[in-house]
Amino acid sequence: MAIELDPACLEPEKEALDLLMKASQYDLVIARSMRLLDIFPGDSDARLAMARAWKAMNRVNESSELLEALITEEPDNGPAQAMLGQINLAQGRLVEADEKFRAAALAFEGDVELYYSWGKTLSLLGMHELALEKFAKAAEIDPYDGDTYEAWGSTLKILGRYQEAAEVYKRAAEYI
């Protein structure tokens, strides 16, 4: 089988999944992911793409189940941990979200969504100082993400640090 000889032969299909996700073609992402999984059942990228599509379609139960199964098989799968954390955050399960984000950050370098969502979670838990660190990290990863600056500034205002909040908003204005 071609996959056994060259596992990279699936890369064009995985790139197509990313493009379909960006185009909000979630049904196609699911169909193509299932086709990939028929060929190579253990492919975590295809499973992540399917979970991402289900999450975007608000089919969070299916997404959560798939992510939990993936994490059981691959505990160090940072993107799966982060996505499950985002689902937990959206469901108001903040402690579980924090645990997933912490595991995700240990497993991979992370992305802006991880640190933004983790910051929101920590802020909602009342851990504002820790949330500020996560927002700063998110802005370091993507200085053009307006949501990060808004959450960062709001958290500073909650702490009564209005001058610092103004500086964050000024910084945002430079990038956005």
Mean pLDDT of 100-111: 95
Report the pLDDT value the prediction gives residue 1, as an integer from 0 to 100: 54
- Determine the residue type at 106: L
Q: Which residues contact 20 (CB under 8 A, 6 or more apart)?
A: 26, 28, 29, 32
pLDDT-based confidence at residue 58 (cuts at 50, 70, 90): very high
Asked whether residue 109 is domain-assigned, the answer is: no
pTM of this prediction?
0.89
Asked whether residue 162 is domain-assigned, the answer is: no
Asked whether residue 17 is domain-assigned, the answer is: yes
Report the pLDDT value the prediction gives residue 105, as an integer from 0 to 100: 96
Give me the domain span that covers residue 37.
Answer: 10-59
Asked whether residue 25 is domain-assigned, the answer is: yes
Give the burial string for 78-93 (b: 16+ CB within 10 Å, else e). bbbbbbbbbbbbeeee
Report the pLDDT value the prediction gives residue 10, as an integer from 0 to 100: 74
Cα–Cα distance, 104 to 121 (Å, whole number): 14
Q: Is residue 5's pLDDT more than 70?
A: no
C-alpha dist (Å) from residue 29 to 16, 25, 141:
9, 6, 27
Cα–Cα distance, 94 to 25 (Å, whole number): 30
Work out how many domains the chain is built from and give that number. 1
Mean pLDDT of 49-66: 96
Backbone angles phi, psi at 19, to 5 degrees: -65, -40
Q: Is residue 122's pLDDT more than 60?
A: yes
Asked whether residue 32 is domain-assigned, the answer is: yes
Asked whether residue 30 is domain-assigned, the answer is: yes
The DSSP code for 40 is: -
